[in-house]
Amino acid sequence: MPDTRTISAYEDDMNDAVREAAALLASGEIVAVPTETVYGLAADAFNPEAVAKVFAAKERPDFDPLIVHIAAYRELAEVAEMPEELESVVKSLAGAFWPGPLTILLPKSAKVPDLVTSGLPTVAVRQSANVIFRAIGRALGRPIAAPSANRFGRISPTSASAVEKELGGRIPLIVDGGACNQGIESTIISIELGETRPLIRVLRAGPVTKEELQKFGKVVIEKRKADAPDAPGQLAHHYAPETPLLMFDKPSDFKPEPDKRYGLISYRGDEKAGYLHLHEWELVEELSPGSGKLQEAAIRLFYVMRMMDEEGLDAIVVEPVSEVGLGVAIMDRLRKASVKGG
């Protein structure tokens, strides 16, 4: 594999970057691209050899299926077989949230290779809102399969430099579109015809919240059963930094060991949360130092986890956030990343 090149897609560079990325994808190569959630590792979704390169570069097990990204709603018919009874609710959801961070599971079309869906009869589809990603999809003229551009089990990258650290030397090209403006992976849902209203199951919490989905049906957040085999995308340990991440039910549960170096990820640097004065922290980082609150915390979550991970600490303690709105998705990622508690 040649060295990994990073090209800018800012402003005047965008058209050239889009053309180069689309040409590589059309030739069966894989390219890291920005989306509004996290950076994705893209391949032509209809080319199984290209898709196989995605699994290889990420060291992703083949039982963990990829999300397929369409550039326009009409492309949906190419990748999914729309059940007649779900057509109107899918249309409404797409109207409300696409382009955007909502992934919908639907029966797959025969054109989608089994490798993409890990042999499942369903395909996960979304339309990204990132202008660079959308332009690449339009230029390619085919749907794009793209999981997050990290090695399997590690934190999703939210910047081109984080992708370079994850996949440098394994892929030919990274398209730098700046920092991702949502910062956590898309909400994944499945839909059934309920008794009176559609039943929407949230399989992965994300930027589109339960509260927002409730306008379209009855919403159930699927909890992973501790004793059940891991469902795709619901792996218990995922997104983990190398430094142990500790999350406690209450601050007093933290019992520091002498001579160990601890960092704190604080939600807002609020003393009342009870963590700041608990210990002589080596380093304190706030998820929401500005006024963005949960939205800002989501954007900064993986960035802060990566930064803390590079400090050679013995452990990172993280304050839980309240589980409302986007807080559900943030806590889901923190639980998956932590070795304890939650």
Q: Considering only residues 28, 113, 172, 233, which one is a binding residue for ligand AMP as defined by CB under 6 A?
A: 233
Asked if residue 287 binds ligand AMP (CB under 6 A), the reply is no
Q: What is the CB-side half-sphere exposure of residue 121 using CA atoms within 13 A?
A: 3
Find out whether the peptide bond into 244 is cis, omega within 30 degrees of 0: no
Asked if residue 9 binds ligand AMP (CB under 6 A), the reply is no
In this complex, which beta carbon is closest to ligand AMP, that of residue 153 or of residue 172?
Answer: 153
Enumerate residues 6+ apart whose C-beta is below 8 A from 96.
212, 215, 216
**Shortest distance, position 43 Cβ to Mg ion, whole Å:** 14
- Whether 37 contacts 101, CB under 8 Å: yes
**Shortest distance, position 285 Cβ to Mg ion, whole Å:** 23
**Shortest distance, position 55 Cβ to ligand AMP, whole Å:** 11
Structure tokens at 245: 């991440």
Q: Considering only residues 148, 187, 243, 338, which one is a binding residue for ligand AMP as defined by CB under 6 A?
A: 148
- The whole-angstrom separation of Cα 21 and Cα 173 is 8
Helix residue ranges per DSSP H, 246-326: 294-309
The partner in contact with residue 124, picked from Mg ion, ligand AMP, none with C-beta cut-offs of 5 to 8 angstroms by kind, is: ligand AMP
Interface with Mg ion by CB under 5 A: which range of 12-20, 70-78, 148-156, 157-165? 148-156
Q: Which of residues 38-57 bind ligand AMP (CB under 6 A)?
A: none
- The whole-angstrom separation of Cα 37 and Cα 208 is 11
Asked if residue 185 binds ligand AMP (CB under 6 A), the reply is yes
**Shortest distance, position 152 Cβ to Mg ion, whole Å:** 8
Asked if residue 148 binds Mg ion (CB under 5 A), the reply is yes
- Whether 182 contacts 164, CB under 8 Å: no
Closest CA to 147 of 136, 163, 131: 163
Residues of this chain that interact with ligand AMP (CB under 6 A) are 64-65, 67, 105, 117, 120, 122-124, 147-148, 185, 188, 203-204, 232-233
